[in-house]
Structure formats: structure tokens, C-alpha cells
Structure 1
Amino acid sequence: MKHLDVLHEIKNNDIKPVYLLYGEESYLTRQVEEAIINAILGPDERDMNLTIFNQDPSVQDLTGMIETIPFMGGKNVIVVRGTALLKARKGNTDSEEQRAGGNDDLLIKTFSNMPEYSHVVLSTTEKVDKRRKLFKIIESGGRAVEMLPLKLNDVKGWLNGKLTALNKKMAPDAIEHLLGALSLMPQISLGFLDNELEKLALYSSGKVITLRDAEQVLASIPEVSVFAMIDALSQKQTGKALELLNEQLAAGDHPLRILALLVRQVRMLWQAKELGAQRLDSKTLAALLGVPPFIGEKIVRQSRNFSASALKQALLALAVTDFELKVGKADRTAIEKIIIEMCI
């Protein structure tokens, strides 16, 4: 089950007694956790009926709290963040295994017969052992939800929801600018993205966030700068490309980080150039590049302004520069030289 399915259940007041939220996208975990708490407890009930642990309490304390009838009625919500109750038990001694097994038995008994006045939310960014009986009990009687990082193809849907919540709209070219930069990131952090959108909403004076707003607010993010730099390179705008490079270096970004982003993007341009020659449709081409269709189309358009040999030479030059930067034989001027040569 995905986190959106769980949020839909909660919205329909279908609240389960036990939740396990696991995986590295902590932003989604907090979103679901907050939705559960808000659905069960009013603001005036939280002081008495909400308990949050940042590590596991003893199993005896946890089960005791679950079975304790709330003072003045209502319901208990017990949140345990950073739980290790479901992790794999590699390397345990016999005595540790026996103790852990006893704890599991107690938790299995409790989670199998949860009182209607208690709800438990367990969360962890670590991997969990899905073979454990405890996991299967939570999965069958409650919800076990893996919080995976959002894929680029799914960002637009999340973005639309966030903009609606902010009572804002975003111009198509501003969305393209943002998603183009995200395509350079090996992993998208929703916490980071949420923070940047909050800043954009505050910066934007009108109801619509414009491309200029996005360029101004997101300029300090290396991926945004490199994506804009490639756009400038494809239009042979040497001055603008060098200006963007110097802004990133002045902001403290290491040349090797900028170089790595350039290598990824130039390699993608080369792939687009080769795939474009096969006359593939934009959807197929974008899927092969691992980007949304409209980003794929932009990369193809950019690639048309370079010859295949120029892109190959740029990649070779970037590889040499990477080595020379690492051994101290080159500096920022080597990257500037590559940019100038790509604009010729």
C-alpha cells in the first residue's frame, strides 16, 4: 500500500489500530503521522492523550500504555519514532534472541487484540524484516507502509497538490525549470522540495509563480544552475553559461560537484542525440532517458544544437578535468575552457 492510499483511508475516517511507517522518505512519514493524529485527537486532547517517543520504550511500557484506558475518556495515540522493533536480528546471542522472542510474543499478543481506545504509530528510516511474524501481524491488522523517495515522474502530481495547498499556481516554464533541475538529482528529497516551494510562495507577489521567481529563488541550488547552464550552452550563450558557473563557485560549490552534474547532463544530451536519430517518439525516448516526456523533449531540443562528435569530445574533456582536479593539476579554468569550447 502506498502513502496516498493510507491518507485516503484516514480522510474517510478508516483509522487502523497499528501503523508501521518505514523507509527513507521521512517527509511522507511525518505527513501520514500528522494525518493520523489529527484524525483521532482534537487540539485540546493532545496534552493528555498523545505520547511521542523518539526511540523505543521498553516493550512492557509500550504494551502497558496501550492497555491503559485514557483519562477522561477519548483515545490514546502512541507514536514511536526511530523504532528498532522490526529490524533484522543478525548476530544476536542466544540470550538476546530469547529475550527478543519474548518481546515479540508480547507485542504480537497486544497488536492482535488492540483495545479500541488505543492507536500506535511506529516509524523508522531503516530497513525492516518483513519475514518477522510481528511485521505480518501489523500488516494484517493495521498498515505497514513503505515510504519511498518520490520518482521524477510522480513529482508533478505532488507539486500540483502542494501548490493548491499554498493557494498558488505555477507557470508552465517555471515548472519545466524546476523539474529540469530535479532530473539532475540522484534522489529527490520531498522535505527539501517542500521547503523550496514555501520560499517560492513567499517570494512570489502574485498568485502565479513565474519563471523569473523560480530563477531568483532557486538560483543557489547547483542542479538548477547546471540545468540553466546547459540551456545557455545549447543556445551558444557563452557569457551566460560562464556567469552561472561563476555564481555557483562563488556560492561555495566545489568544482568537482559541478563537474559531476555537467557530466551527467552532457551524457544525457549524447544519449538523446543517438536516440533521436532512431526517430523514437518522445514518450519512448523520455522513458529510456529516465525523465518525464516534456523534459525528454527539452533535452532532445538541446541536443540538436550539438554534433555527436562535440558531445563526445566534451565528455572526454570532462573526464580528463575530473582526474586533474582530483590530483591538483587543474582548477576552475579547465571547466570554463570546456564551456567555451561547447559554445563554439
Structure 2
Amino acid sequence: MATKAVTFDSLRNDIVNRNFKPVYLFMGEETYFIDALTDLLEENVLTDAEKDFNMMLFYGVDSDVNTIISSARRFPMMAEYQLVMVKEAQELDHFDDLNYYVQKPVPSTILVIAYKHGTVDKRKSVVKNIEKAGVVFESKKLYENQVPAFIKSYFQVRGIGIDEKSAQMLTDFVGNDLSKLIRELEKLEISLPETQKRITEELVEKNVGISKDFNNFELLKAITEKDTLSANRIVNYFDKNPKNNPIQVTLSVLFNFFGNLLECYWLPNKSEQHIMKALELRSAYFVRPYLTALKYYNANKVMEIISLLRTYDAKSKGIDNVSAAPGELLKELVYKIMH
């Protein structure tokens, strides 16, 4: 029988519902998920009164494995659990020696190991035994196409909604840098009027500084619909506001779209449902631009556009480009794409 995948959401639900495991290993490149899960356990395992005698915090750089194991083998005082947390565990010497404990952990101890900026080799006994006794969660960087779903999930647990366009605007503006993204999401949450429980594009425009009418989402829409007037207006706006509209972000958005569009041409069935499944899109809302673009751009033109995007990406980095500014390059590119 297949093992159910461990996800951030499933772990968060288990922790909030006090379905604890005796050992947790959180490891990986994306520190946000590691910190969030560690904080959740700190908030939910013990009450404030219980923490005085039953919570021990270690940092890998100035701790040793024997002391951690000795602490984990203690029993809680006037509480159901004791919580032993090892932060920055990637700095811990003789990490593999934790295997002596995790083979038979104490049920009343919850040992949390936060290992950042890398992973422990999953073939090692210590990882295999943690997986048998508890949870191993690898915190991976999100791909940009996963960020809108993360944004929706972030607000959903707080009882707040957000529309698809607003989530995509934030993604295009911030990318997959979650530490930067969280700051913007917190800003939006604070700015919500008391009677309002939904993030709108107007709220994003006011508090994040992204124009609801002049952004990569609207530029892509104008290009797919062959709306030259709107595309030119947006490109001119980008030219006058380069700090909030860097050309590299725009090129990335266009490259992802036309790369996916090229894939659509080889689909035997180009229905909304089949395109959504093939491109792993999360809703029909994001299929519509592809259906529109299929009417206006043939496969040969799309291959030409992808080649243009590579050329202008190089030019934006100074290759074969002596003096053209990013705004000028984008104007040239969009003209060539649409003609």
C-alpha cells in the first residue's frame, strides 16, 4: 500500500489537532516551512506554564548529541509531554549519532530537529529510523506556478479569501521568495477592513504597489488577445516604472506561458479540461489565455517567440547590447511577438 505523502498542510493539521509524533526532522532549502512547523509545535505541544520545566532548546553550533539524547530521555514534569527542539541542526557535530535515540524514542518526548539549507542523506539509518518513528519532511523551494496556491492556502487558514488574479499579481511581483512574499501577505492581512474578508486586486494595488491595470498578468492578456493598444500602454508604464516592473520578471512570465502554449499544440485534445490537466493548472481560469492564444498564434510563431525571448533575455543582460535600456528592449520584443 502506498505511503501517504507528508505535506506542509497535512503536518500543520496534525499539529493543530495535537496528533503528535515522537520525532520530527524538518530539512531542506525553503526555511519558511521549517520555521512555520517548528513554531507550530512550540505553540501547541505545551502550555506557557508547562514550558518552564518541559521545554529545552538547543542550537546545533554550540550543542552536542549526547546532551540532546540525555535530555530527550528525561520524562516530563507535571505535563503530558516534554519538548526538545534542535534548531540549526545542520551545524550539529556527529549528527548521525542521534540514531542511538531515534531507534527507540521516548513516547512522552517530542524531539524536533530543524535542519536548514540542505538535507540529510535519506539513505542513512538515522533518517530511516526517524521516518519509522515519526516524520521526515523535506522543505523544498516552491516553483513559481505553485506560489498562487500557497497564497490562497495562507489566507484560507486565516479565514480570508483571495481571487485568482490577485494571487497571480502577487506571484508575478514577488516570485517564489517566500520570506519576501510573507511580508507582503502580512501587510495585506493587516490592511483588511474589519468587515472585509477578501483580498482584492484594488487592495493589492493600494498596499503592495502593483497596478491592477498595468502588470504582467494584464500584459500577457493583451498579448494573447492581440490587443496592441493595451499592450503598448502597459509596456510604456513598465518603461516609466522599471523598479516595480523589472524586465527579467516579465521575460520569465512570457517564457513560461509560451513554453506551455507550445506544449498545447501537441495535445490530441485541446479542450479546456485536457489543457488544464496537461499543464497542471489549478483552475479553468488559467486555461482561458491558452485557448485564446491558440486562435491567434500558430506553432511556428510560438517557436519564433520562444527564440525571441531567449535573445532579449541575453540582451537584457548586456549580451550583444551596447545601449538599449530595458524599456526599449521590451517595446521591441512585444512588437515582434505581436506582429
Shorter-normalised TM range: 0.7 to 0.9
| Gap runs ≥5 in structure 2 | none
The residue aligned with 2:220 is 230
1:168 maps to 2:160: yes
> How far off is 1:58 after superposition?
0.6
Contact 1:25 1:189 survives alignment (8 Å): no
Partner SS for 1:249: coil
1:130 maps to 2:119: no
Match of 2:187 among 168, 177, 199: 199
1:35 maps to 2:31: no
Partner SS for 2:270: coil
The residue aligned with 2:55 is 50
Listed one character per residue, the Cα deviations across residues 111-157 of structure 1 (whole Å, up to 9, x for unaligned) are 33434443210022312122222222212222222233456776666
Partner SS for 1:196: helix
Identical aligned residues as a percent: 18
Greater relative contact order (Cα < 8 A, sep 6+): 1
> How far off is 1:331 after superposition?
2.8
Contact 1:220 1:248 survives alignment (8 Å): no
Contact 1:16 1:141 survives alignment (8 Å): yes
Match of 1:340 among 332, 335, 338: 335
Paired AA for residue 340 in structure 1:
Y
Match of 1:120 among 111, 121, 130: 111
Partner SS for 2:220: helix
* TM-score, reference length from structure 1: 0.75
| Gap runs ≥5 in structure 1 | 87-98
What is the distance in 2 between the residues matched to 1:306 and 1:55?
56
Paired AA for residue 287 in structure 2:
G
* TM-score, reference length from structure 2: 0.76
For these two proteins, the number of residue pairs brought into alignment is 320
What is the distance in 2 between the residues matched to 1:220 and 1:250?
11
> How far off is 1:69 after superposition?
4.7
Quickly say closer, same or farther: Cα 1:199–1:297, change in 2 above 3 A.
Answer: same
Contact 1:220 1:251 survives alignment (8 Å): yes
Trace 1:62-211 onto structure 2 (pairs within 5 A). Answer: 62-69=68-75, 75-84=81-90, 100=94, 104=96, 107-125=98-116, 126-150=118-142, 158-170=150-162, 174-179=163-168, 182=171, 188-205=176-193, 206-211=196-201
Match of 1:331 among 309, 325, 334: 325
Quickly say closer, same or farther: Cα 1:304–1:48, change in 2 above 3 A.
Answer: farther
Contact 1:52 1:80 survives alignment (8 Å): yes
Contact 2:26 2:139 survives alignment (8 Å): yes
Paired AA for residue 245 in structure 1:
F
What is the distance in 2 between the residues matched to 1:158 and 1:323?
31
Contact 1:151 1:188 survives alignment (8 Å): yes
Contact 1:241 1:339 survives alignment (8 Å): no
> How far off is 1:67 after superposition?
3.1
> How far off is 1:20 after superposition?
0.9
Paired AA for residue 335 in structure 1:
L
Match of 2:6 among 2, 8, 19: 2
